[in-house]
């Protein structure tokens, strides 16, 4: 049990200080039958901000990001991305963001360049700028020299770098990352975050990422949202969260806020529920 219980009707709203909000979410809820995976959450993300959605396995992180990226339809609540409602203006909303999911979406039977070209065509990147944009991004993630190689021969880190390059092709205003460095070695994780932070600085791109790596959230995010059991239980900068919990480091603050119960590290119950309802 958390040492900071909330009343069932209580709702935490994230209210950044700047006025331009690239993401606005109100009362977002997702149910799978009787199970509530995401429970009436509200938050805003400001333009140019890097926001971490930090929580244990099964907390509702992936369900939330799938609703934000139009993969799952919410049970209740509203979402606004770059001024568009993704339920009524899906194409406009989708062109506003890039997405890197936990599971690889690159085609192993194509080369790195062919993967990029296919994505560029799907997203309507103009023909006259397409090749130059692909070159820029593959150089950016240090894969230009491997552009003619089949992706099936890439390491996990190389595939993740290609995923990030693919997600940036159409100049998105928002980059969604679902557990972007899960399973990668520390060196590769550091390189990937160098790319993301550089793009955030150069293109003023907002970044929304889910993670259960506390160090990653503390090091990379402007603000951290802690979610557990489908509800937002705390929000702030790492310094603010440590002060709120009365702890000297974010890991101890996180444990104090979410409790000491060991979570299953191999199976996300929300994923199983999503698969079951997707078949109906």
- pLDDT for 9-51, tens place per residue? 444 444 444 458 999 999 999 999 999 999 999 999 999 999 9
Name the residue among 173, 162, 220 with its Cα closest to residue 193: 220
Confidence of residue 212 (pLDDT cuts 50, 70, 90): confident
The CA dihedral of 44, 45, 51, 54, to the nearest 10 degrees, is 20
Beta bridge partners of 236: 224
Confidence of residue 182 (pLDDT cuts 50, 70, 90): confident
Q: What is the pLDDT of residue 3?
A: 43
Q: How far apart are CA 175 and CA 52, in angstroms?
A: 12
Measured in Å, how far apart are the chain's first and last C-alpha atoms?
34
Q: In what order do the strands lie in the sheet with 21-32?
A: 35-46, 21-32, 76-81
Average pLDDT over residues 109-134: 95
Q: Is 209 helix (H, G, I), strand (E, B) or coil?
A: strand
Confidence of residue 279 (pLDDT cuts 50, 70, 90): very low
- The conformation of residue 261, written as its DSSP 8-state character, comes to P
Task: For strands 21-32 and 35-46, give the pairing.
Answer: antiparallel
Q: In terms of pTM, does the model score above 0.85?
A: no
Average pLDDT over residues 207-214: 93
Of 46-50, 182-186, 248-252, 276-280, the range with the lowest mean pLDDT is 276-280
């Amino acid at each position: 049990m958390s040492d900071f219980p909330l009343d069932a009707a209580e709702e935490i709203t994230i209210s950044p200080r700047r006025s331009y909000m690239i993401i606005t979410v109100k009362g977002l809820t997702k149910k799978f039958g009787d199970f509530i995976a995401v429970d009436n959450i509200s938050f805003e993300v400001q333009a140019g901000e890097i926001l971490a959605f930090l929580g244990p396995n099964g907390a509702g992180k992936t369900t939330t990001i799938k609703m934000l990226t139009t993969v799952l339809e919410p049970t209740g609540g509203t979402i606004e991305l770059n001024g568009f409602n993704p339920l009524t203006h899906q194409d406009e909303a989708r062109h506003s963001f890039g997405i890197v999911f936990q599971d690889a979406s690159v085609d192993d039977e194509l080369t790195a360049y062919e993967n990029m070209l296919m994505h560029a065509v799907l997203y309507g990147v103009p023909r006259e700028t397409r090749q130059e944009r692909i070159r820029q991004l593959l150089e950016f993630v240090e894969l230009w020299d491997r552009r003619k190689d089949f992706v099936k021969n890439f390491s996990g880190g190389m595939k993740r770098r290609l995923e990030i390059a693919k997600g940036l092709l159409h100049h998105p205003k928002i980059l969604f990352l679902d557990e972007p460095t899960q399973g990668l070695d520390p060196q590769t994780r550091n390189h990937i975050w160098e790319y993301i932070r550089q793009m955030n600085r150069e293109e003023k791109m907002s970044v929304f990422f889910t993670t259960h790596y506390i160090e990653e959230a503390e090091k990379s995010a402007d603000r951290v949202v802690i979610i557990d059991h489908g509800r937002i239980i705390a929000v702030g900068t790492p310094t603010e969260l440590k002060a709120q919990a009365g702890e000297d480091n974010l890991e101890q603050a996180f444990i104090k806020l979410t409790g000491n119960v060991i979570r299953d590290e191999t199976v996300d119950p929300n994923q199983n529920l999503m698969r079951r309802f997707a078949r109906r």
